[in-house]
Structures are given as C-alpha cells and as structure tokens.
C-alpha cells in the first residue's frame, strides 16, 4: 500500500509539473484505491479484534492518514487545485510511513484494557480530527505564501493554479476555527481521563506539554486574526503552529511516558 501511495504522489507531481489531465486522473484513481484499501484494513481490523481501536500510535496515524486522504479527495472534487492534493498526499504518505515505524518500535507493547473508556475514545478521535483541520489550514497557508511570492515578483506560470490570497487566507482561518475547539475539548477530556485513571504525575509529560503549546500557538493565530492581522505574518504564524503539531507527533513516538502504546 505504501508503494501505491507513492505512485499516486508521483502521478500528482507529474500532473502539477506538466499540467497533464491524464496524470491527474491516474493520481485520483490510485489515491482513491489507497483510501479504499485503508478503509478495508480498518474494517478487517475491527472484525478480527472485535472493535476498532485508536489507542496505539500506529492506529492513530493510520486513521489520520485515512481521514486526510478521504477529505482531500472530497475537497479536490470541489476545489480543483493540483498543489492542494499534492501537499495533502505528501502529508498523508508521511503519516502512513510513520505509522508503520511506530508499529515496529512498539512491538510487544499493548494498551491496557482496564484503561479504555468512552472518554478516551472521544479524546483521541477529537485530537485526530483537529490535526486534520490544522493540516488543511497549513496547506492553504503554504499556497498563500507561494501565491504571495509569485505576485510580489510578478511571475506567473500556468502550472501554479492557486486560490487568490484572500481565499487561501480565509480557508486557512476557517480550518483553524474548526481545529482549535476540537483540540481544546480533546485536551480537557484527556486530562479528566488521566486524572481518573493514572496514578502518576502526568502534567509534565512531553506529549501533554507540546499539546498545550499547540493550543497556545493556534490561540495566538486566532487572536491575531481577530485583531485583523493578515497577510504574510499570519501565514508564517500558522506554519510555525503546524511545526509544533509535527513536533508533537515525534514526541509521542520518542519521549512520551504513556502515549506510546
């Protein structure tokens, strides 16, 4: 499946570079096939295990990749910009590969059944949904900066079919409007679950610290937007915020004391 994902990314890259609709269709077909196979994998895993768990980093990253692919395909049908689907595909493939890296590193580890609760399910699901929203926001900020630089240098090329600066900034803002409360609620539920189920001091766990840093950074983004700060500064603020999201994933894989099952 990784190879199929990479082939899809290659087709979209060719479609972006050469503006070839045939490559775009091949990319769409292969990416749709990847999403279908991911869906079948989740169904198979649910049947074999009796439930669909998202409590391991492997399953969380795989679910994130599945959501990113599915939603990016849906958005692309309405908002046909090759660079959008290319960047979404690149992020999704990275998460997909990291999922298997996390699975290999976590061999022999399992999530304790006595710690599973509906509260934890909602916490994990909302966190992943917020990361998907932040990912799309990041992509639109990237397109904003590319468009801004092209306009500033008065350069244009047919392959750079991008949304207007206003639309790119607007979409970036709207996705953060969705992601911020999802993450805030997720963190609140996670802390309640940790208070009820964990017997050690979890406040200084690197995963929790970086999660709150993400919330602060995106809160700062929304504050700047509310103060009518726009343009390049806002886009760079958003990119910095997403960098912290990526850092959070790495922290989960390497240093967190209870987010590595």
Express each pLDDT in 8-40 by its tens digit. 888 888 877 777 778 888 888 888 998 998 899
Rg (Cα) of the chain, in Å, rounded?
19
Nearest to 26 by CA among 46, 175, 18, 218: 18
Give the SS3 label for residue 260.
coil
**How many domains does the chain divide into?**
2
- The answer to whether residue 53 scores a pLDDT higher than 80 is no
- Residue 23: predicted pLDDT: 82
pLDDT bucket at 152, cuts 50 / 70 / 90: confident
Looking at the fold, whether 89 and 141 belong to one and the same domain comes out as no
Alpha-carbon separation of residue 137 from 32, 47, 189, 220 (angstroms): 22, 34, 24, 15
Looking at the fold, whether 123 and 144 belong to one and the same domain comes out as yes
Looking at the fold, whether 48 and 122 belong to one and the same domain comes out as no
The phi and psi torsions of 253 (rounded to 5 degrees) equal -75, -30
Looking at the fold, whether 176 and 107 belong to one and the same domain comes out as no
Looking at the fold, whether 104 and 164 belong to one and the same domain comes out as no
- Domain of 245 in residue numbering reads as 114-261
Token pair 């966190």 in the structure block, residue: 127
What are the counts of helices (DSSP H) followed by strands (DSSP E) for the chain? 8, 0
Single residue among 82, 111, 140 that ends a domain in this structure? 111
Single residue among 95, 111, 127 that ends a domain in this structure? 111
Looking at the fold, whether 142 and 249 belong to one and the same domain comes out as yes
State the average pLDDT over residues 83-91. Answer: 89
Looking at the fold, whether 142 and 66 belong to one and the same domain comes out as no
- Report the alpha-carbon angle 83-85-91, nearest 5: 100
Looking at the fold, whether 103 and 119 belong to one and the same domain comes out as no
When mean pLDDT is compared across 5-14, 83-92, 130-139, 147-156, the lowest value belongs to: 147-156
């Amino acid at each position: 499946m990784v190879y199929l994902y990479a082939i899809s990314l290659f087709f979209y890259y060719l479609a972006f570079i050469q503006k070839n609709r045939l490559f775009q269709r091949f990319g769409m077909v292969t990416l749709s096939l990847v999403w279908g196979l991911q869906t079948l994998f989740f169904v198979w895993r649910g049947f074999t295990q009796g439930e669909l768990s998202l409590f391991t980093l492997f399953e969380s990253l795989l679910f994130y990749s599945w959501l990113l692919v599915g939603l990016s395909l849906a958005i692309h049908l309405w908002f046909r910009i090759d660079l959008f689907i290319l960047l979404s595909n690149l992020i999704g493939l990275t998460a997909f590969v990291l999922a298997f890296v996390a699975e290999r590193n976590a061999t022999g580890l399992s999530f304790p059944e006595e710690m599973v609760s509906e509260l934890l399910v909602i916490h994990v699901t909302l966190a992943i949904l917020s990361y998907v929203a932040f990912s799309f926001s990041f992509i639109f900020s990237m397109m904003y900066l590319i468009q801004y630089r092209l306009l500033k240098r008065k350069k244009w090329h047919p392959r750079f079919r991008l949304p207007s600066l206003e639309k790119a900034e607007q979409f970036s803002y709207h996705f953060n409007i969705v992601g911020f409360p999802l993450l805030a609620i997720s963190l609140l539920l996670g802390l309640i679950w940790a208070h009820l189920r964990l017997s050690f001091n979890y406040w200084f766990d690197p995963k929790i610290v970086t999660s709150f840093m993400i919330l602060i950074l995106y809160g700062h983004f929304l504050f700047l937007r509310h103060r009518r700060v726009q343009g390049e500064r806002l886009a760079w603020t958003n990119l910095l915020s997403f960098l912290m999201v990526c850092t959070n994933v790495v922290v989960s894989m390497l240093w967190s004391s209870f987010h590595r099952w």
